[in-house]
Every structure is written in C-alpha cells, then in structure tokens.
Amino acid sequence: MCVCPGPRRIAIPVRSSRLPLFSDAMPAPTHLFPLIRNCEIGRLSSAVCYCHHKHLCCLSPPHFAHNHLRYAPQKKFATLHRPKENFNQFIHARSYVSTPQKFYLTPPQVNSILKANEYSFKVPEFDGKNVSSILGFDSNQLPANAPIEDRRSAATCLQTRGMLLGVFDGHAGCACAQAVSERLFYYIAVSLLPHETLLEIENAVESGRALLPILQWHKHPNDYFSKEASKLYFNSLRTYWQELIDLNTGETIDVKEALINAFKRLDNDISLEAQVGDPNSFLNYLVLRVAFSGATACVAHVDGVDLHIANTGDSRAMLGVQEEDGSWSALNLSYDHNAQNEREIERIKSEHPKAEEKSLVKQDRLLGLLMPFRAFGDVKFKWSIDLQKRVIESGPDQLNDNEYTKFIPPNYHTPPYLTAEPEVIHHKLRPQDKFLVLATDGLWETMHRQDVVRIVGEYLTGVHHQQPIAVGGYKVTLGQMHCLLTERRTRISSVFEDQNAATHLIRHAVGNNEFGTVDHERLSKMLSLPEELARMYRDDITIIVVQFNSHVVGACQNEEL
Amino acid sequence: MFLRLLSDGRWWTASSRWRNMASSRNSATIATEPHLISLPAQAQVVVCGGGIMGTSVAYHLAKLGWKDIVLLEQGRLAAGTTRFCAGIVSTARHVSIELKMADYSSKLYQQLEQETGIKTGVQIHDRTSISHVLVQKGHVTGVETDRGQIQCEYFVNCAGQWAYELGLSSEEPVSIPLHACEHFYLLTHPLKKPLESSTPTIVDLDGRIYIRNWQGGILSGGFEKNPKPIFTEGRNQLEIQNLHEDWDHFEPLLSALLRRMPGLEALEIMQLVNCPESFTPDMRCIMGESPTVQGYFVLAGMNSAGISYGGGAGKYLAEWMVNGYPSENVWPLDLKRFGALQSSRTFLRHRVMEVMPLICDLKVPRWDFQTGRQLRTSPLYDRLDAQGARWMEKHGFERPKYFVPPGKDLLALDQSKTFYKPDWFDIVGSEVKCSKEAVCVIDMSSFTKFEISSTGGQALEVLQYLFSNDLDVPVGHIVHTGMLNEKGGYENDCSIVRLNKRSFFMISPTDQQVHCWTWLKKHMPSDSNLLLEDVTWKYTALNLIGPRAVDVLSELSYVPMTPEHFPSLFCKEMSVGYANGIRVMSMTHTGEPGFMLYIPIEYALHVYNEVMSVGQKYGIRNAGYYALRSLRIEKFFAFWGQDLDAFTTPMECGREFRVKLEKGTDFIGRDALMQQKQNGVYKRFTMFILEDHDTDLDLWPWWGEPIYRNGCYVGKTTSSAYSYTLERHVCLGFVQNFDKKTGEGLVVTPDFINRGEYEIDIAGQRFQAKAKLYPFSSLFTQRRRKDEMELSSYQGK
C-alpha cells in the first residue's frame, strides 16, 4: 500500500506512517464504519494513489529514509496542505474509478463522529448572580492522526482567581503534548500563588497533610492523565515551588511574568527529566519520548476583565468582537511563531551567528525541518550534539533503534535553536468582546479567521442577535412578516444541530463548500477517510470556544473606572 | 369542551371607569395636577401596586367597610401588566376556586358601570415607590417609600412581577415565589371592514394563541413553548430597556394565527407588544397572609389571568383581611402552600419556563413537573431510584409513585399522558396485591413532623385546645385528630403520638409544613417552657404494609409484634437491626395491617437494608404512593388537601368518632360542631363504587366529576382510585341536598344518601354508582381498637 508522510508539521524520515516515531501507548480509535472501510477503501485509496503519482510524492520508504534531507521538505507536500484543492482532485480522480453506488455516512453517523470528543462547561450560576466573566466554554477535537496528537486543557484556579484554558498541538508523537496538557496549568497556577499559600502547601506536603486543591479540571472523559508519571511530575513541581519560596521577592505577582516563567520552567523540567532518566524503565522511556517529541501551546488566563494569552508556536487565540451594528470582527490575540512571521525569523537570526543565516530557515521550516519556531520538548533542536548522543546511547533500546532520534538536524552548530518561551498578550475585556477561540493550526489553515469569528458569533447568539426585525413606521402585512420570519428560521435551523460551538466550527471547517455552507456530501467523505489517509486531507483540529459574560464584563469595567 | 369565553368588549371602557371609581376621592388630582400630594403619616392599610389586583383589593376592602386605605403605585395607575394585558376575561379554569373567582370577576365587571361614582375612601398616590416594609415583633408596622414613611397595620403586596423582590426587601423577608416571562401580543390596523365589537374572542389551544377584536383590527397573542424568563436578577435596567418586540420569537404564534385564519394575511401590523407576565411554580395564583409577618398580605402571580381573577381574588383577599378568612376554600391559592424552599431564583426561572407553556396544554391527571426536581430527598433516594422508582414531587420532596420492575418499560413521558387507563396500572396492581398478601415498604419521609414538648402540662393543654380529639391518652397511644378552625373545618388532619407525659409527636401531610407551623405558632401562648420543633428532616419514615410486616419486624427486633403485644394505633421506641431508638407505630395510613417506622436519618439506610434482606423470604417489595392511594381510597380514608379542607367538618365526613365534644376542655371549633350535631350537616362525604364502568375502555374518573342523585346534580368527587380488591373504581366526594325550587342547601341525612340512585359523570358519560357512607368491613382484616369499634357500631344503626 502506498503511504506517504503527508503534511506533518515536522518533516522527518519515517519507515512507515504507522510507526511515526514511538508507538504511543494509546488505544487506536475504534473503526467506526466497517461498511465504508470494506467497500470504499479500495476505491478511495486507489483514487488517492492516483493523485499521489500525479504529484510524484509516493516514494518507496527505504529510499525516503535515506534521503530525508533532500526529500523531506518536498514542495509538493505543501499543495496537499490545502484540503480544498486537494479534495477536488480527489473527487476528480474518483470519477475515473467511480462506480454508480454511493456510500455516504448518514447525518447521525456524521454527528456521532463529530460529537465524540465534544465537551461543554458552564460556569455554575449562583442564585442568578454570575460572578465569573466567563459564561462557559465549548471544546472539541477531531483527530486526523491516529492517535490524535492534539491535546486540550481547561481548569479553574482554586487558590487564585481565574480560569485557564489551552490547546496543545503535538508533533512527532503525542507524548509531549500530553505531558504539557497535564502539567503546564499546575506550573502556571503555582507561579501565580502568593508566598503564604506556597508555604502552606509546602508545609502540608512536609507534614503529610491533605493538600489544598490548586486546580479544578474540566475534562472530557477522553482527556486522560498519566498515572504512572504523576509522582515524578509532582516532585518536579514541588522543586519549582520550593525555589519560588526561597526566591520570595515580596513583589506582587505579575500574570505575564508568571506565565512566561511557568512555560520556561516546565520546558526546562522536561529537558532535565530526560537527561537524568528514571530507574523505572517505563518512566525512563516516557520522559525520553516527552522530550524528543514536541508541542506548541496556546493558553488563556481569564480573571475578570483581564485576559492574558500566552502562546508558543502556531496555535492561535482569536477574540470575537461584536460591533455596534451587530456584525462580527476578529481580533488576533497571538502571533504565530512560524515562517510567515517576519519578526520570528528576525528573532532566530539574531540569536545565531550570521554564518548560519541561510540555513536557519529553509522551506519555511526551522533548519528545514520544523514548522513551529517555538515549542516545548523537541530537545533535538535544543540540546548539544554531545548531549543528544549521550542520552540516546544510555537510553533504552527502543530509542537507540529509532531513526529519528539518532538523526541530528543539518547545520546544527549553535543550539539551542528552539525555545518554549511564550509571547504574552494582555487584553482588557470589553462588553463587545463576546468570545475567544483557541484552536490549533488544523482549524486556521482551513478557515479564515474572519469566517471563524462570524460562524461562532452567529452560532452563539442564535437568532436572537441576528439583526432584530422592527416594524417601525413601515407598512408590513402579517403575510409578509410571516414569509420573512420563516425564511430567517430556516437559515438558522442548521445551527441548532450542534449544541457545542466547537463542534459547529469543526463541521464548517471540514464540510464547507466553496459557498461557505456545510456540504453534507463533502463532510461525509472527509470523515469516512480511513485513518491512514485522513492526515493528508486535514490536520488534527482542537478548538476551545470561551464565551464571556458581557454583563459581568460591563460591571467590572464600571467598577474599575 | 364547555369553554365559556367572555369577550368583554366593554372592558377597555370599563377599565377607565374602574380607575375613576377607585380614585374618586382625588381623581381630579391625578388627572390634572402634575404636583404630588403629600403622603399621609398613617393608614390602616397600605396597598402596593396600582394594577388590577391592588385596585380590586382596595375596592373590596372599602366595600367591606374599611375606610383608611392608601394605595401606592410606583408609576401610573394601571400601567404595568394591567395596562398592557390583552384584556380577556375568561371563566374557563380547571381549578374550581379559580373558576369561582373568574366567574365573580366577570359579573363584577358588568356591574361596575352602575357602581361608578361611589365614595370609597381609598387614597391613591402614584409615582410613589416602596423601598421596604417595616416589621416589628413579627407584625407589619409601616412602609418606607421614596416620599416618606407611612405607619400602617396591614400591608398588601400586589406588586405583580415585582412582588418577589418587594417581599425580600421587607425587614423580615417574605418569600413570594413567582417569576416573570416575556409575553407578546400583536396589534393590527383595522380590517377593511372593521371588526364589530361583538366579535367573539377565540382561543386556539392547539395553536397556543388567543385572538380578539381590537379597535376594528385584531389583538392576538399566545403562550409559546419556549418562554423567555426575564428579571431573574431582579429589576434590571438592561433588561427593561431590551423589552423590544421579538418577531423571531413570535414566529410560531404568527404561523399559528395565519394557519387558523389565512384571510388575515393582508392585515397590516401596528405593533408587537412585549408585556411580561408573572408565573408561579404550580400555575396557581398566590394570595394570603405571610407565614412570617402578621398583617402582610399578598395577591400576585396571576399566570397571565389577572383580569379574569382580579375581581374575585380581590374580594377573597379583602374578606380574609377583614373577617380572618375568605368565604371560600382558597387553600390551593394560599401563599402558605409554599415555603422558603420554592424561593430560589434558579428554581423559579427553570420552573416558570415549564409552567407557561402548560397554559395551552391539555392538563392530564397526575401530571408531575419536570423542572426544579430532586430538591428534598430521602436518604434512600438513590437506592430506590436504582430499583426502578418513578417519582413525583410534593412540597419539593421526591416521593416514589411506583416501582418499574426490571425489564419492563413504561411509555415515554409524552405518550403516557392519558385520561384512560394509564400504563402503570398493572405495576401498581402488583404492589397492591403484595401489600394485601405479603408486605410492601413505602418511603413516606416527606410527611411533616413536629414535636411539641413542655416542662409541665402546657403541651397537653394547648393541644387539647387546638385539636378536636382527646389527647389525654396513655403514653404510647396514637390519636388521629383534626386541627379545626372556629367553623369546625379542617385546618389540618394529623396523627399525634403521646411520646411521654409532656411531649407529643405530630405527623401531618407534607404540604402542611408552613401552614400548620404558622397555625400552631399563632395559637400557642408565648411560653418559653413550651417548645415546638420541626423535626421533619430528622426522620426517615418507612411504611411497612401487609400481613407479613409483623414477621419482618419481630425478626429484626426480637420482640413479639402480634396485636396482643402491639395493639393497633400504638407507638413504641425499639431497636430494628442494629439501630436503636426507632419509633415504630402500628398504623399504615391505609387501614391495612402494618407499621410506620420513624427512623433517625443516619440509620435509614441500615434499617432499610435490614428490612429488605429479612423481608425477602416474606416476599417484600418496594411500593409507591399510587398503591397507597388505591388502598386508602377503597377503605374510604379521606386525605387532607384532597378530600378535606377548611370548609369541611368532621361531622360531614363521618369522623364524629374522632371528635370528643365532652373531653372536659374547650377546643377550637367545638361550638360550631355542637351546633352541627344539633342541626345536621349540609354535605356528606360519600364513597361511590362505579358499577358499569369498563376500566379498560372507559375514561377514568380522576377527581372533580359531577355526582348525580336521581338525575339531579348534588356535588363533585374529590378523589378516586381503582380498587384492585373490589375490581371497581371507587370515587370519594361530597353529596349536598339542593332545594329543587330555591337551589338552597338543605340538611343531608344518612337516609338521604342511602335512598338515592347515583350516577357519576365522567366527561359527559354517566356511570351508575353505589353510594356508601361506611367502608366495606370485609376489607379490614385486623382486629380493631376502640375508636374503630365505635365506627362499626355506628354503622350498625
């Protein structure tokens, strides 16, 4: 069978797409629709093969592995990156081999796929008074990789005010994204804690008393935490807060600084844990997988009207703003750290000798390999060559046998080339700021930000904020009004299919046709792609939509004035 | 459908005259002078709210002779819901007291035209808002307004949708559970040929809309399925400003209108009016005196029928204030049917969203609200739920209806709505069978439970005065007794246990928690040596019904439980399983043999588990209230709230044996009962057994069916159930004797009851019924104690 690595965010040599790097200990997604898989798979794959041959990108695996440097940044891959075009080819190609039968997923089947990972959280109302500036959030994920490499987290800070939400896009496996999704919020929460609370917590641990809960997680059942590593993670976290206690500056805590410190500290801990290793062989292997894989992070901290976005990598935070006339506009609250960001290119160039200028960014990738320019993990881009070799040699056999880990990036002279330090943007929420979308690049590469904000905005406000009709002084008959209203209702009825804004957005991202409306046929085809092929048409998509409470935001604003 | 709708074309004119009438003393002031006249320093009554309710109360108080009344309105008179309301007076109501109010209102409105110009003695001040009500020692003393204080003896809260908030702003909060929803109606320009004022009002319940003539055009509104609750956080400027027309929300109602009357398509729109209406948790309005503050009266929560009820409700409340009690039974509307537990804003918001659509829905029997549930539960709730319990709610408490056996499915909620034989028929049948042949356990923890104790004989003394039966019984005895009012009517019907010489344990119906407490507090001397405690929450009550209950309990307690050792209507504190201090009472509220167990809640799970495991070999199973109901009705047991009310005396329901007129002390209602004993009763509680009714095919009786004696209407049923033992339907109800010529009520003798041919009318079809004044003695299997012996000897006469 014909396989190819597709538009992975890290272009690396692989033998088989089924064993990208390490086989992660995650259950494979269940095969949802055997009917389609059995009947259509042949046709689908032959169609895709056809398209591959056209693009000359279907290479024999051994050849590929040996010539990664030349072939990894294949330009042809980039075309695969745009699913629309790609998809048309797919349909076009399909016509050559088409049979009269059609196999589509029924709408309920489509829904069950789209809704499998959806999660909603409503900030509880107390006696009708909502004290949080957040009404609640919807989140969802649609995998393209098997297993999915994206992660998401959401939690309420219990010892300080505020709520944390984040999306994490993993590459070269999901180990790093998983670890960051479990650990980062603890690091942030600890960074935000006042000295007295840290002391209290430390004393509790010291004397074996029950710990103050720091975070209340809001998790989908599929969002798991690693039980085995919890002790290890906890010890690292404890060391961090012990240092914070010793450092006690007595200054008030700045959220921006806290976020930056937490990001950097966690990345540092990931790196250290891999260098030190663990006597338990499972854990030892785990910390290495975490360090050698990578993840981007886009995290929001919301406390009253203060919204902080800390971003590392190319996930994005977008604010949905409702203008006075009711229309929607998008406000970027993060900068992508990739080759499209000139400031990032400048930054990287400034950090390395002039001699390397040409080799730093090639084919829009860091060292010609990595798409995001900032990330957690990815020690291949951070450690010295010596260190990498030493760790791999002393590491477990699985590590030693792996082509990717052994391979040192080209033109690797002055590491580190990569950092996890986030860019933090502070925004004061205003009553017109209705919601925030956090999403991995899987969404942003298929949809324009303006469309994203419009679709979510119209979804969240439903019909009520659709320009209200007023009769005013006009002559309107009951019949005319009736026609107008029925028409408006049919327009929005599709919205009510989804109870979750993130699901609604995914439906559009995957199923939109050229007219910007969801095409069921297209949606059905995209979702019934076998997992081996899905990655070529779309990336993992993870979305969190946070809805703000304009009443509370307005009230907070007035208080501050 | 005997829907009688009164399209009152004159209402708009009537309403303006109403205003003139009510404000006759200073109508000129209001109409012409922009200056506000100063408030009086004191008044007997201050009424808050110048809508239909406030003006109606003031009018009726004046009519009853009270002269010193001040009515305050924050905006303009009749400017709230009353102003914007659709002005429909309808007398089709499904609660009989509501029907009476609506009927009175419609007659009153027709009379008003003649009555205008009468001096009333009511002072009206508009543009005056009340900030709070002053309370001292649990009694209203005045109100604080934005224009100064007024001292007053009585305060009436008729603030409509603001009544909830105003209630909370009193120094001693008064909880008035109601919540506003947006309500829309459409006004159009006149038709080409303007509608005549005589055009009838049309209500299309399927389309959820009403339509009436309005200045030659139409006025049409409705009650949508997806109401928009508003002002949850209280008076909210943002929401008030946003009270715009919402056409998209009105779309289903407009579609319904054009479907019913396609010819209206060409009609030109004038306006879509948004006028919030207030709704209550049970779709019945709220009236009466606050249980916490004396002199604080309420009339609000009209569920969009304010105009229909205005006249009648105002009259009853005025009577209540002047005479101490209205001339009709208003318990279904009494504020005291609610407690603080129905006051949560979240609860109200959720519940009214369910209530408002119900206005247009068919009211099927045994309907349970779906929102605002699982508030009060027994500690066994989860255990019972896991065993298939289906629940109903009373006063916020979840009670099992019946238990669906594993593997058996009932109909979906929507499909289960019926007036015919319901889907639970066989399930309840098997529960009844089990309690006749083996033993059943029913969780009856919702009962209101009070303890009254004193240092000396004060407790006995006060109870002897408040209750009609003799409570000076040996320790351990249980007495069934009524708590009567001056007229001898039942304010409450309860069972009282004499725990020891100086303390008593009192069991009342679930919804008596507020009412009974208030009544006792009001009549008890303020003696610090006399203690009244609400212990409802302290005990879980299990009812073990059936012939084998005795075996289960004796096995669990190692104490013989046979009637020789444990006679009927007896209470002993004993151990059950490992748990000590369980109050075991030999009564079941059904007439069947068995025991009530009052268990301190921490032992509840233990005792339940023990009972179930030991009971297994005796065939024990869970049962619910439906089985209980069938059992008690076939035994002719009346329940307060369903069969008994404040206008029913023990003499009228065959309970003379529970009254001790000569117990040596006076008690409330004694004089009335003495008189009744002499003169005879004017209605008589009777049991009817349906003869030619086919349970499978005919519509079932539920309650409220007319009773015919020799072809003449003599009364209505109050409750009914299928008796699995008799295999017949049993209806309970009151028979009256109306004079053929004058319609006046005459004395009802047993002879009158016995010598008649009876029919019960179920939805237009009459079924022959056999009337009985006493239950079938064959249904009682157990040896009876003294008072029941009395009953049978009476029967022998």
Query: Looking at domain A119-445+540-560, does it have CATH number 3.40.50.620?
Result: no
Residue B557 has a CB neighbour count (10 Å cut-off) of 16
Asked if A477's CB is within 8 angstroms of B265's CB, the reply is yes
Q: Binning pLDDT at 50, 70 and 90, where does residue B527 land?
A: confident
What confidence score (pLDDT) does residue B638 get?
92
What confidence score (pLDDT) does residue B784 get?
44
How large is the average pLDDT for residues B742-751?
Answer: 92
How large is the average pLDDT for residues A356-382?
Answer: 93
- A472 vs B: CB within 8 A: no
Asked if B232's CB is within 8 angstroms of A128's CB, the reply is yes
Asked if B251's CB is within 8 angstroms of A486's CB, the reply is yes
Taking CB atoms within 8 Å and a gap of at least 24, the contacts of A345-349 are A345/A373, A348/A373, A348/A417
Cis peptide before A147 (omega within 30 of 0): yes
Residue A27 pLDDT exceeds 80: no
- B264 vs A: CB within 8 A: yes
What confidence score (pLDDT) does residue A39 get?
39
What confidence score (pLDDT) does residue B776 get?
82
Residue A234 neighbours by CB under 8 Å, 6+ apart: none
CA dihedral (B669, B670, B674, B677) positive or negative: positive
Residue A465 pLDDT exceeds 60: no
Residue B778 pLDDT exceeds 70: no
Q: Binning pLDDT at 50, 70 and 90, where does residue B794 land?
A: very low
What confidence score (pLDDT) does residue A420 get?
95
What confidence score (pLDDT) does residue A316 get?
95
Interface test with B, best of A482, A492, A495 (most B CBs within 10 A): A482
Q: Binning pLDDT at 50, 70 and 90, where does residue A462 land?
A: low
d(CA B740, CA B101): 26
- A493 vs B: CB within 8 A: no
Q: pLDDT digits over B543-580, tens only?
A: 999 999 999 999 999 988 988 889 999 999 999 999 99
| pLDDT, greater one: A33 or B768 | B768
Distance from CA of B617 to the nearest CA of A (A): 43
* 158-217 of B, contacting A, C-beta below 8 A: 186, 188
Locate the domains of chain A by residue range. Answer: 119-445+540-560
Which chain A residues have a beta carbon less than 8 Å from that of B353?
none
Residues in chain A: 561
What confidence score (pLDDT) does residue B782 get?
47
Q: Which residue has the tokens 């419609």?
A: B106
What confidence score (pLDDT) does residue A497 get?
67
Backbone phi and psi for residue B699, each to the nearest 5 degrees, phi listed first: -65, 145
What confidence score (pLDDT) does residue B151 get?
95
Q: Which one, of A176, A224, A171, A165, lies nearest residue A502 by Cα?
A: A165
- A486 vs B: CB within 8 A: yes
- B255 vs A: CB within 8 A: yes
Residue A77 pLDDT exceeds 50: no
Q: Which one, of B46, B315, B78, lies nearest residue B157 by Cα?
A: B46
What confidence score (pLDDT) does residue B365 get?
87
Interface test with A, best of B243, B251, B345, B350 (most A CBs within 10 A): B251
Asked if A479's CB is within 8 angstroms of B248's CB, the reply is no
Backbone phi and psi for residue B223, each to the nearest 5 degrees, phi listed first: -120, 100
Q: pLDDT digits over B433-453, tens only?
A: 999 999 999 999 999 999 999
DSSP string across A184-243:
HHHHHHHHHS-HHHHHHHHHHHHTTPPPPP-EEE---TT----STTHHHHHHHHHHHHHH
Which chain B residues have a beta carbon less than 8 Å from that of A458?
none
Q: Binning pLDDT at 50, 70 and 90, where does residue B787 land?
A: very low
d(CA B509, CA A45): 72
Measured between CA atoms, the residue of chain B closest to residue A492 is: B248
Q: Which one, of A445, A465, A499, A517, lies nearest residue A79 by Cα?
A: A445
| pLDDT, greater one: B219 or A102 | B219
d(CA B14, CA B114): 10
Distance from CA of A323 to the nearest CA of B (A): 18
Which among A127, A469, A475 is the nearest to B268, CB-wise?
Answer: A475
Q: Binning pLDDT at 50, 70 and 90, where does residue B142 land?
A: very high
Residue A3 pLDDT exceeds 80: no
Asked if B232's CB is within 8 angstroms of A479's CB, the reply is no
What confidence score (pLDDT) does residue B793 get?
39
Residue B608 pLDDT exceeds 90: yes
Q: Binning pLDDT at 50, 70 and 90, where does residue A492 land?
A: low
3-state secondary structure of A6: coil
Which chain A residues have a beta carbon less than 8 Å from that of B349?
128
Q: pLDDT digits over A408-428, tens only?
A: 888 999 999 999 999 999 999
What confidence score (pLDDT) does residue B19 get?
38
What confidence score (pLDDT) does residue A10 get?
57
Least confident of B24-38, B53-67, B501-515: B24-38
Which chain A residues have a beta carbon less than 8 Å from that of B257?
478
Q: pLDDT digits over B176-187, tens only?
A: 999 999 999 999
How large is the average pLDDT for residues A90-103?
Answer: 45
Asked if A478's CB is within 8 angstroms of B266's CB, the reply is yes
What confidence score (pLDDT) does residue B440 get?
96
Asked if B346's CB is within 8 angstroms of A127's CB, the reply is yes
What confidence score (pLDDT) does residue B178 get?
94
Distance from CA of B231 to the nearest CA of A (A): 10
d(CA A448, CA A431): 24
- B266 vs A: CB within 8 A: yes
How large is the average pLDDT for residues B622-629?
Answer: 96
Q: Which residue has the tokens 């979510």?
A: A456
Measured between CA atoms, the residue of chain A closest to residue B237 is: A551
| pLDDT, greater one: A401 or B752 | B752
What confidence score (pLDDT) does residue B101 get?
81
Q: pLDDT digits over B336-386, tens only?
A: 999 888 989 989 999 999 999 988 888 888 888 988 888 999 999 999 999
Q: Which one, of B335, B241, B245, B342, lies nearest residue B296 by Cα?
A: B335
Residue B621 pLDDT exceeds 60: yes
Backbone phi and psi for residue A47, each to the nearest 5 degrees, phi listed first: -65, -45
Asked if A479's CB is within 8 angstroms of B265's CB, the reply is yes
Q: Binning pLDDT at 50, 70 and 90, where does residue A89 land?
A: very low
Cis peptide before A194 (omega within 30 of 0): no
Q: pLDDT digits over B265-291, tens only?
A: 999 999 898 888 899 999 999 999 999
What confidence score (pLDDT) does residue B118 get?
55
ipTM value for the complex: 0.77
Asked if B255's CB is within 8 angstroms of A486's CB, the reply is yes
Asked if B269's CB is within 8 angstroms of A477's CB, the reply is yes
Asked if B254's CB is within 8 angstroms of A464's CB, the reply is no
Which chain B residues have a beta carbon less than 8 Å from that of A486?
251, 255
Which among B233, B238, B269 is the nearest to A478, CB-wise?
Answer: B269
What confidence score (pLDDT) does residue B128 get?
87
Residue B387 pLDDT exceeds 60: yes
d(CA B119, CA B23): 9
d(CA B574, CA B581): 5
d(CA B249, CA B228): 9
Backbone phi and psi for residue B540, each to the nearest 5 degrees, phi listed first: -100, 135
d(CA A122, CA A129): 14
User: Residue B717's beta-bridge partner residues?
Assistant: B733
Asked if B345's CB is within 8 angstroms of A128's CB, the reply is yes
Pairing relationship of beta strands B594-600 and B706-709 according to DSSP bridges: unpaired
Which chain A residues have a beta carbon less than 8 Å from that of B272?
471
In the predicted model, what is the mean pLDDT of chain A?
79
What percentage of residues in chain B have a pLDDT greater than 70?
88
Which among B233, B267, B271 is the nearest to A478, CB-wise?
Answer: B267
d(CA B320, CA B325): 4
Asked if B268's CB is within 8 angstroms of A476's CB, the reply is yes
User: Residue B72's beta-bridge partner residues?
Assistant: B48, B125
User: Residue B135's beta-bridge partner residues?
Assistant: B140
Residue B246 pLDDT exceeds 70: yes
- A483 vs B: CB within 8 A: no
Q: Binning pLDDT at 50, 70 and 90, where does residue B795 land?
A: very low
**With DSSP H G I counted as helix, E B as strand and the rest as coil, what are the percentages for chain A, rounded to 5?**
45, 15, 35
Distance from CA of A210 to the nearest CA of B (A): 27
* Residue B195 DSSP class: P
Distances (CA, A) of A492 to A137, A329, A489: 21, 20, 5
Least confident of B11-25, B313-327, B580-594: B11-25
Which among A125, A478, A551 is the nearest to B264, CB-wise?
Answer: A478
Residue A485 neighbours by CB under 8 Å, 6+ apart: A469, B247, B248, B250, B251, B254, B255
Which chain A residues have a beta carbon less than 8 Å from that of B345?
127-128
Residue B489 neighbours by CB under 8 Å, 6+ apart: B645, B646, B647, B648, B649, B669
Least confident of A2-16, B269-283, B485-499: A2-16
